[in-house]
Chain A
Amino acid sequence: MRYSIASLVREAWRNNVGWRPAWREPGLKAGYDVVIIGGGGHGLATAYYLAKNHGITNVAVIEKGWIGGGNTGRNTTVVRSDYLFPESAALYDLALRLYETASEDLNFNIMLSQRGYMTLIHNHHQLESARHKVNWMACNGVDGEIIDRDEVRRMVPLLNMSEGTRNPVLGAFLQRRGGTIRHDAVAWGYARAASDLGVDIVQNCEVLGLEKTNNRITSIVTSKGSVSCGTVGMAVAGHSSVIAQMAGFRLPVTSHCLQAMVSEPIRAIHHHMVLSPATGVYINQTQKGELVMGSVLDLYTSYGQRGTFCTIEKTITSVVEMFPVFAQLRLMRHWAGIVDVVPDSSPILGPTPVDNLHINCGWGTGGFKAIPSGGTILAHSLAIGSPHPLGQKFGLDRFRSNRLVDEGAASGIAH
């Protein structure tokens, strides 16, 4: 069923009895041309673009949990493309541009709200870095600007900018096209659109092992039986090392816990996404009214999808320092996801040491914002057998050739 104002009116008239599940739930077939491991945003987007851009529809997406239950449902829903190197700008801005048209493309309202993404500037060093970044972004054709202290005060009136505050605010970097998205809608929208094009989405299907012949994966052993495959794509974020180990190689990835939390819902009082590099805290208000807060990742390796009190305390004390009025709020929910951190803070895309296995991982703490381009690039790699032009500089071979794309140092992203 196509979603439209007409379908809404018709179903309202019929007491909503005509709605059908958004995607099919088929069993696992004996084999597929392409099997994608991981039913998060990147895996589902890969399946969708395989079908849409390359006409390959004999595809399965296998997911050990449920659709939208991993990092796609565990992030802070922020989108932006304020990266410094041209190759990164091309990658992340493609994602943002695809998100801008995704609701129409997928026929699913992803609730993109381009409310502006703001990084506060606390000192002159940060001001110089922000100017440097804005100039690079202009060269890359991506919007970004620096706003002064008065403009910050006008846009974020609740921010503590009083005399003697611990982290004074000189201004802010602002990307007006940045903002938030309803994160579940991204998973559901891509799942529904891929399913409509013939892709099988199989949930509760965990990969237990990979069978290889002549450096090719011939079949995948899962909790729902074995499935043979032509090519294999993996988009499993924090669990990339686990799948890579089954395939017989290692990755330059360490897995860490990244957590976030929301307050009880209140009326709209905080209209932009605000990040403070001094505290590491980022905060925005959802369209339901909850304040979404996150900060630093836990620095030790972790596969535990749950938070720690140390980080909750750090985050909340910083939030209250920035926005004293929020001290009155109560926390409602708190969650954690496992992110795949790479030494140069850039993703790993394309071929692997195994001939028919292609990878999409290493997005670290910023995978959600990149879903449309990650899917486009992995789909290209799987269909054509060689890296997508935008993915060429992000190959696993860059660690051997020592051509790192060090966005962590360059654009000053938090981690």
Chain B
Amino acid sequence: MIVIRCPYCCELRIEEELTYGGEAEIERPAETASDEQWTDYLFMRTNPKGLSRELWCCTAGCGQWFKVARHTVTHEVVEILRYDEEFNTTTVGA
């Protein structure tokens, strides 16, 4: 079971109380983006086996979105950050 302490309200929450928000750092391309860039942005995912940088929401608590670096095989949570902080961990394939 994944257990994460929300970096905003500092409450300890289990996965049932949180919402997974997918890969972090997906940037919306500019209006001038090509169809390929747009397809990449909308659909293509790195989906790493190993460390993954992702978004979670404290749904049952304060409702804030925050960032987590998590291992997708062991589910070990390596890093928990506020939304405006930068990751220190690197991921596979990134």
Does A395 interact with chain B (Cβ within 8 Å)? no
Contacts A250-B40, A251-B45 hold; do A304 and B16 have CB atoms under 8 A apart? no
* Contact status B14-A310, CB under 8 Å: yes
Q: Which of A253, A298, A308 contacts B47 (CB 8 A)?
A: A253
A326 within 8 A of B: no
Instruction: Judge if B46 is at the interface, Cβ distance under 8 Å.
Output: yes
Q: Count of B residues near A, CB < 8 Å?
A: 28
Among A298, A299, A303, the one with the most B-chain Cβ atoms within 10 Å of its Cβ is A303
- Taking the nearest CB of chain A, how far is it from the CB of B68, in angstroms? 10
Interface: A330 (CB within 8 A): no
Give A302's nearest chain B residue, CB to CB.
B72
Q: Which one of A253, A301, A308, A309 contacts B72 once the chains associate, using CB atoms below 8 Å?
A: A301
Contacts between the two chains (Cβ within 8 Å), count: 67
Q: CB distance A304 to B74 under 8 Å?
A: yes
A300 within 8 A of B: yes
Set of chain A residues within 8 Å of B39, measured between Cβ atoms: 399-400
Chain A interface residue count: which class? 20 to 34
Q: In the complex, are the beta carbons of B15 and A255 less than 8 A apart?
A: no
Task: Tell me if A224 is interfacial: C-beta within 8 Å of chain B.
Answer: no
B54 surroundings in chain A (CB, below 8 A): 300-301
Q: State A399–B35 Cα separation when bound (angstroms).
A: 10
The chain A residues found within 8 Å of chain B, CB to CB, are: 239, 241-242, 245, 250-255, 298-304, 308-310, 343, 399-400
Known: A241-B45, A299-B19, A300-B54; 16 extra A-B contacts, CB below 8 A, are A241-B47, A242-B49, A250-B40, A251-B47, A252-B43, A254-B47, A255-B72, A298-B15, A300-B2, A301-B22, A301-B72, A302-B72, A302-B75, A303-B73, A310-B15, A400-B35
